[in-house]
Amino acid sequence: MPSLADAAVAAGWAIVALDNARRERYERDARAAYGAVVAGLRRLPAPVRLLYLAATVAAVLLVERRTGRWGGTPLLAAAGVLLVAGGAALHLCARRALGALWSDVIAVRARHEVVDHGPYARVRHPIYLGILLLAAGTVCAHPSPATVCVGLGTAAGVALKIPLEERALRRTLGEAYVRYAARVPALLPRLLRRGRP
């Protein structure tokens, strides 16, 4: 079961990464129609991003090799695979709803608009929620110090990025985003919809 769970986890992450790369390439023209970036963070050059990715993978492999894997149960592995599948599905669905407004860094464009359909009708950051589910599923399916470090690092990154993104969206989109944020929770969907006055 561990090797099957590991393969499912790797497939979940690979599907998300490949889908993002493919969609980003095909959405270039549509993205340009939204205008220049007016708020957000500068994107690091590709060589720096590749170096960072390579260093992260090398560190994870080194920790995994030195510490090994903790014992897990088939039930925990199955739960992990379900979390990975749910996280990947949510990410793909949210990525399609966001369309050309997606960016791997915080980038609010001149003609940016509030996206409030699809998963964005339930949470403001479904892509980040999908990534957190992928990370949690990875830890469950392959419990080890290395995956725990990656999971905690992912959660910390999301926790740091959300407030920066929220600030940029509020500053640029103004009242439209403030109303949306008042209506829709950031990460955890409300189980019961509030009654309307």
> How confident is the model over 66-112, as pLDDT tens digits?
998 888 899 999 999 999 999 999 999 999 999 999 988 888 998 99
Phi first, then psi: what are they for 18, rounded to 5°? Answer: -65, -40
Q: Over range 9-15, report the average pLDDT.
A: 95
Report the b/e string of 11-49 with b at 16+ CB within 10 A: ebbebbeeebeebeeebeeebeebeebebbeeeeeeeee
pLDDT at 153 (0 to 100): 94
Q: Are 127 and 91 in contact (CB under 8 A)?
A: yes
pLDDT at 1 (0 to 100): 56
How many residues make up the chain in this entry?
197
Q: Decide: residue 78, CB within 10 A, 0-12 exposed, 13-18 middle, 19+ buried.
A: middle
If you compute the radius of gyration of the chain from its CA atoms, what whole number of angstroms results?
18
Where do the domains of the chain lie? 2-183
Cα angle, residue 97 at apex, residues 42 and 141 outer, rounded to 5°: 85
The answer to whether the Cα torsion of 19, 21, 25, 29 is positive or negative is positive
Q: Decide: residue 141, CB within 10 A, 0-12 exposed, 13-18 middle, 19+ buried.
A: buried
Three-state secondary-structure class, residue 180: helix
Task: Tell me the fold of 2-183.
Answer: Four Helix Bundle (Hemerythrin (Met), subunit A) (1.20.120)
**Where does the chain have alpha helices with state H?**
2-26, 28-33, 46-67, 74-98, 126-141, 145-173, 175-183
pLDDT at 29 (0 to 100): 86
What tokens does 101 get?
């407004």
User: What digits encode the pLDDT tens for the residues 14-69?
Assistant: 999 999 989 988 898 888 889 888 888 778 888 898 898 899 889 988 998 999 88
